[in-house]
Structures are given as C-alpha cells and as structure tokens.
Amino acid sequence: MAKPNSFRWSMESEPHKPRTKEIIYKHPEIRTLIGRNPWTFGVVLLCVSFQVTLSWFLRDASWWVIFLVAYLGGAFASHTLYVCIHEAAHNLIFKKRALNSISAIIANLPLVFPSAISFQKYHLKHHSYQGVEELDADMPYRWEAKLINNSVFGKALWLLLYPLFQMIRPVRLKEINLIDKWTIINMIVQFTFMGFFIYFLGWKATAYLTASFFFSVGLHPLGARWVQEHFLTHGDQETKSYYGLMNTVNLNVGYHNEHHDFPSVPWNKLPRIKKFAGDYYDNLGHHTSYTILLFKFLFDKNLSVYSRMARDNRGGKLKTQHAGKAQQSLTPNA
C-alpha cells in the first residue's frame, strides 16, 4: 500500500445521523437513556482537588519525579477533566447552559490554558460537519499533515505538540464567534487562577500541571484517543470506538461511535447504547488497547496524519440537514 499523501475524500454526508435514525426506529428504548448526569460535577471537583493537592506536594520535588508523576497520574486526571468539559459542551451535566459553562470553566482550572468555552463552540460543529475542514476543528490542517512527514519522529512530535495544533485549528473555522462574554469569563478566571497558583505554589508545581495537560492529550497512551476516534485504521470506517480498561477512568469516552450517534446520552449510559443496539456496533471496527494503537500509529508507514476522511461542505449537505432532524428530536431541552 502506498504511503498516504492526501486525505481520503467522501462525497457522502457524515455517517452518524442516518444511522441514528435507523437505530432509534429499531431500538426506541434508547430514548430512555437521554438526559443529564449532575454527578459529573462531582468528578470535576474531585479531579481539580487531586491535581491541586498533588501540585502542592510536588512544589519542591525533583524534576524527574514531577514528570514521572505527571505521566503516570496527572495525565489521567487532566484527561478526565477534558472529558468533563466535553460533557458540559453537550449540556449533559446540568439543564441550564450557564451551569454547564461554569462547570467547564472549573474543570479547565488545572489544564493551564483557557479553552473550555471555545471548545464548547467548535465541538458541536464537529458533530454536524465531520471532516469539513472549515467547520470541523478535529480535522487537521492540510499543511499540518504535510509537515508531519510520516516518520516515527514526526508523528511522535505531532502527538507531543498536539495541544498546540488543537489550539490553532479554530482560527480557520467559519460560522463560529470565538470571543463572547463566556470566553472572556473563561480567560479571566483561568489567568487569575494560574497567577495565584504560580505565586503560591511556584514554577515546579506549574510545570507539573503543564506536563500533565500535554501528556493527557499528547505523547502518551491517552493521546492515542485522537487516532482511535476518526483515523482510518479500519478501511473507510470514519469513527471507531475503544472498548478497554481506560474507559473506567476516562468516563467511557472510548464509546465514540455510540456518542456520535447519540450525543444527548451522558457518559455513564453510553455502554447501554451498545447493549441495546449491539446488532449495529458489534461488527464495527474498534480498538481495545491505547498502548498498542499508539505504537501502531508511530511505526505503521500506512498510517499518518493524512489518514482521515475529508468532505466538502457542499457535498452531501442536503442529506446532512435532512438526516439531522432525527438527532434534533433526541436532544433534551436546554
């Protein structure tokens, strides 16, 4: 197989909305799973407390201890907080949007950089326009894919710096106002928190939080999540789920096909979607090990940043809008 040197292009609409309509017709019991889980806010408080407490203990530790603890512990807490921000983006913690935004801002605190509110804005577009470069921030830049030259070093560097690539992608997005009242509140709260944090706990504690954040979404088995979700590891199947042990600490974030099909179902009920509609999910390609997938991405020459399905916003747009009515009927009132 030739090394990929461009994205794979599709003229069809994104695959989830039509499947949602079909599944809900055959398995109407899935409607009972729609709702919110306010206990997620407890997870937010637990993980924030965990990170701040560890930072205090590590404020005078050796550098090798700081990075080791960040890799083995802090990365998992930071990743869970990222998942909680994701839940808030879908309005799955509380009924009121404002309370979800506040929850996301609190979850953002140990993640160093203010990103919770901007994530809420662009992530929902990812669900509607999967693979459309100007609307999907999860889609890599073309120059980004070209820059990472499919070498082991290049792909490792891409994962290591993934948070930086993720931060600059929203700049290209259309139809999104990235700056509003909540974005400014997010920035003020985050910069104030980090100012006090640096003053009272010092630079080593700050390095711990920063390392935890970069490991949680970067060069770490947890970083393989980005490959798992939408990289073409199983033919032309655009979305893959992960069914492995990490789901127990990552709030079932691996159930990605299930989440895209039913984004109004909170994390604690995602496994029940697969149980109800196993006839749709059991035969789909999936992953069971983030560690194996991480090494596969690094060393498989046929797998690169180009291994994504792209689509033109014009192609299949009417199909997407028509099929979208199915998911609109499944969305809980805001």
- H, E, C per residue of 160-207: HCHHHHHHHHHHHCCCCCCCCHHHHHHHHHHHHHHHHHHHHHHHHHHH
Question: Which of 232-236, 304-308, 314-318 has the least mean pLDDT?
Answer: 314-318
Report the percent of the chain where pLDDT is more than 90.
81
CA atoms within 13 A on the CB side of 9: 9
Coil, strand or helix: which one is 209? helix
CA nearest 210: which of 76, 78, 86? 78
| Cα 113-116-118 angle, rounded to 5 deg | 100
Question: What rounded mean pLDDT belongs to the chain?
Answer: 91
Residue 82 near residue 217 (C-beta atoms within 8 A) = yes
Q: What is the pLDDT of residues 179-196, one digit of tens each?
A: 899 999 999 999 999 999
The band of 143, judged by pLDDT with boundaries at 50, 70 and 90, is very high
Q: What is the pTM of this model?
A: 0.91
Q: What share of the chain has pLDDT > 70, as a percent?
A: 93
User: Please, which pLDDT band fits residue 323 given cuts at 50, 70 and 90?
Assistant: very low
Q: Give residue 330's pLDDT.
A: 54
Confidence grade of residue 13 (pLDDT, cut at 50, 70, 90): confident
pLDDT digit string (tens) for 95-123?
999 999 999 999 999 999 999 999 998 89
Q: Range with the lowest mean pLDDT among 151-165, 169-183, 313-327?
A: 313-327
Phi-psi region of 214 (alpha: psi -120 to 50; beta: other; left: phi over 0): alpha
Task: Tell me, rounded to whole angstroms, the distance of Cα 7 from its chain centroid.
Answer: 21
For the chain, strand residue ranges (E) read 8-10, 241-242, 286-287, 309-311
pLDDT for 83: 97
Q: What's the confidence (pLDDT) of residue 320? A: 42
What's the CA gap between 305 and 4, in Å, rounded?
9
Which pLDDT score is estimated for 279? 94
- pLDDT at position 314 is 59
pLDDT tops 50 at residue 259: yes
- Residue 249, number of CB atoms within 10 A of its CB: 13
Across the range 131-135, mean pLDDT stands at 91
d(CA 217, CA 226): 8
Distance between CA atoms of residues 254 and 224, nearest Å: 11
The domain limits of the chain are 8-327
Check pLDDT > 50 for residue 321. no
